[in-house]
């Protein structure tokens, strides 16, 4: 027994299945879930309708499931689902093409797959972590460069305030020795002058004594 198609009200006869709605379904913030693309129509009449799918401009016939339902107004609504069997790259283009007796040319709708960006909190956390790591790295490099700079500046500098480990002598001792030698040298002229003065004084006394003896001898004569 053939099913007789219920006729809708006159106002709804020859209703077109446009505009089409097309969108993808996948878990939020997860780019590795196998997506499904859906194409749906508004109410239309008569029932016969067909869906054709294109992926990046090439027709695809696998993973397609179409459902047609009758609403309370005696009109039909249809949806077609294309279920992928492998992960889809970002930017893949899907086109849904609908053919119906009320349409002079098929209706079409296009969807471009774009995976959602990670949640804002995670993005902020990653940015803060990257900034902190960059700051820490700059600090470490600064400390290393400062140590190298100080090492270069102090290279070759000798400290003379401490005894020489090889000679076991202190520069201060050398200074004292030099001062002692200098003082000894300065006393030599003084001692020589004193000796000269003593000799001269003795000669004067001898001369006086001779003069006195000679005088006494003359007087005795």
3-state secondary structure the chain: CCCCCCCCCHHHCCCCCCCCEEEEECCCCCCCCCCEEEEECCCECCCCEEEEEEECCEEECCCEEEEEEECCCCCEEEEEEEECCCCCCCCCEEEEEEEECCCCCCEEEEEECCCCCCCHHHHHHHHHHHHHHHHHHHHHHHHHHHHHHHHHHHCCCCCCCCCCCCCCCCHHHHHHHHHHHHHHHHHHHHHHHHHHHHHHHHHHHHHHHHHHHHHHHHHHC
pLDDT digits (tens, 9 = 90+) for 57-86: 999 999 999 999 999 989 999 999 999 888
Q: What are the boundaries of each domain within the chain?
A: 10-112, 161-221
pLDDT digits (tens, 9 = 90+) for 86-133: 888 889 999 999 999 999 999 999 999 887 665 555 556 666 877 787
Contacts for 34 with CB less than 8 Å, ≥ 6 apart = 26, 83, 84, 85, 86, 87, 88
- CB-based contact 39:80 (threshold 8 Å): yes
Task: Please give the Cα distance from 124 to 108 (Å, whole number).
Answer: 40
| Highest mean pLDDT pick, 32-41, 133-142, 165-174 | 32-41
Q: Return the ∠ at Cα 161 (arms to 157 and 164), rounded to 5°.
A: 85
C-alpha 120 chain-centroid distance: 20
Average of pLDDT values for 138-158? Answer: 75
Task: Please give the Cα distance from 16 to 41 (Å, whole number).
Answer: 9
Question: Which pair of tokens denotes residue 95?
Answer: 């086109």
Say if pTM beats, i.e. exceeds, 0.85. no
Q: What is the pLDDT of residue 8?
A: 59
Confidence of residue 27 (pLDDT cuts 50, 70, 90): very low
Q: What is the pLDDT of residue 44?
A: 95
Q: What is the pLDDT of residue 1?
A: 44
39: left (phi over 0), alpha (psi -120 to 50) or beta: beta
Task: Please give the Cα distance from 71 to 96 (Å, whole number).
Answer: 23
pLDDT digits (tens, 9 = 90+) for 157-197: 554 554 555 555 555 555 544 444 455 554 555 555 556 66
CB atoms < 10 A from the CB of 210, how many?
10
Q: What is the pLDDT of residue 221?
A: 63
Bigger pLDDT: 68 vs 8: 68
Query: In the CATH scheme, what is the homologous superfamily, with its name and number, of domain 10-112?
Result: Immunoglobulins (2.60.40.10)
User: With 70 as the cut, is the pLDDT of residue 9 above it?
Assistant: no
Q: What is the pLDDT of residue 218?
A: 72
Task: Please give the Cα distance from 183 to 172 (Å, whole number).
Answer: 17
């Amino acid at each position: 027994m053939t099913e007789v198609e219920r006729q809708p009200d006159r106002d709804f006869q020859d209703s077109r299945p446009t505009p089409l709605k097309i969108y993808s379904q996948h878990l939020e913030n997860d780019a590795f879930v196998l997506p499904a693309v859906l194409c749906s129509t508004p109410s239309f009449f008569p029932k016969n309708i067909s869906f054709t799918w294109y992926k990046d401009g090439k027709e695809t016939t696998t993973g397609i499931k179409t459902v047609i339902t009758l609403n309370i107004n005696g009109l039909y609504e249809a949806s077609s689902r294309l279920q992928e069997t492998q992960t889809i790259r970002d930017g893949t283009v899907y086109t849904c093409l609908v053919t119906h007796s009320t349409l002079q040319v098929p209706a079409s709708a296009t969807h471009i797959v774009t995976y959602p960006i990670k949640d804002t909190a995670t993005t902020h956390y990653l940015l803060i972590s990257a900034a902190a790591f960059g700051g820490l790295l700059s600090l470490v490099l600064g400390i290393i460069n400062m140590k190298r700079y100080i090492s270069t500046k102090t290279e070759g500098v000798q400290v003379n305030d401490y005894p020489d480990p090889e000679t076991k002598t202190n520069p201060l001792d050398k200074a004292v020795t030099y001062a002692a030698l200098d003082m000894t040298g300065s006393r030599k002229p003084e001692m020589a002058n004193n000796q000269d003065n003593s000799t001269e004084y003795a000669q004067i006394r001898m001369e006086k004594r001779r003069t006195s003896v000679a005088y006494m001898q003359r007087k005795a004569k």
